[in-house]
Structures are given as structure tokens and as C-alpha cells.
Amino acid sequence: MKTQPLKKGPGKLPKFKSDEEEIRFFERHDMAAYWDQLEDVDAVIELSPALERRIRERMKKRLLAIRLENWQIARAKEIARKKGVPYQQLMREWISRGIRSEGRAPWTARKKKAARG
């Protein structure tokens, strides 16, 4: 049985004449293969206030994985498509609404009981 020769790494990162040439190169090549050859850059990136706000809001959320039946996901996607919203957003709204309504129920019952005396 013949063994395959080991593939060599990508080699040395080429010198680019322009930023556009560098962009085209990395659109066709895996940047990870050249990571150790890239220059460190100490640049401050200015974000638009809207993007900065979106990032801060997203950081307040945590990822949660739950298992759902296929029909539940399909139905949620169908409803979301009709409403013109992403289905994950719609499902977050449903969960939030359910938690709020469950959270109010005991408070409402205690409030009525306290009022009665």
C-alpha cells in the first residue's frame, strides 16, 4: 500500500501591493494558516453608537440550548415568517411573555388576598 506524502504548509505570506490585493488573497485563503506571520496591530476601532448599543445588549443575554420537537421548530419558523421576524426572536418573545404572565399570577393572588384582609 502506497502512503501519501505529507502536505507542506502554505508557505510564506506574500507581500501585498495594496490593501485590496491583501483582501482578495484572504478571501481565497484560510487566514488561520498564516496567523503566526501576521503583524500585531494596536488599532482602536470606532464603532457606530447603534452597533455599540447592539453589542452591549447582546452581552446581557446568555446562550441556552433546549431540545424541541421538529414540529415545534417548524411551526415557530412558519409563524415567524408570516410575522416577518426571525424565529429565534419570536421564541424569545414567547418565553418572555410566558415568564411574565406566570410571574404575575402569584403576585396578583397575594395582592387580592391582602386586600381582603
Greater confidence (62 vs 85) lies with 85
Show the domain range for 84.
63-116
Does 25 fall in a domain? no
Our measurement of the distance from residue 31's CA atom to the centroid of its chain's CA atoms, rounded to an integer in Å, reads: 21
pLDDT at 6 (0 to 100): 47
Cβ of 87: how many Cβ atoms within 10 Å? 17
Looking at every residue in the chain, the average pLDDT score rounds to 85
Q: Average pLDDT for residues 24-43, to the nearest whole number?
A: 87
Are 91 and 65 within 8 A, CB to CB? no
Does 78 fall in a domain? yes
> What distance in Å separates the CA atoms of residue 31 and residue 38, rounded to the nearest whole number?
9
pTM: 0.47
- Enumerate residues 6+ apart whose C-beta is below 8 A from 76: 87, 90, 91
55 — pLDDT class (breaks 50, 70, 90):
very high
Does 58 fall in a domain? no
Does 98 fall in a domain? yes
Residue that is written with C-alpha cell 419558523 in the block: 77
Half-sphere exposure of 29 (CA within 13 A, CB side): 17
Q: In which element (H, E) is residue 109 found? A: helix 87-116
The domain tally of the chain equals 1
Does 16 fall in a domain? no
pLDDT at 30 (0 to 100): 86
Q: Average pLDDT for residues 7-34, to the nearest whole number?
A: 84
Q: Average pLDDT for residues 56-72, to the nearest whole number?
A: 93
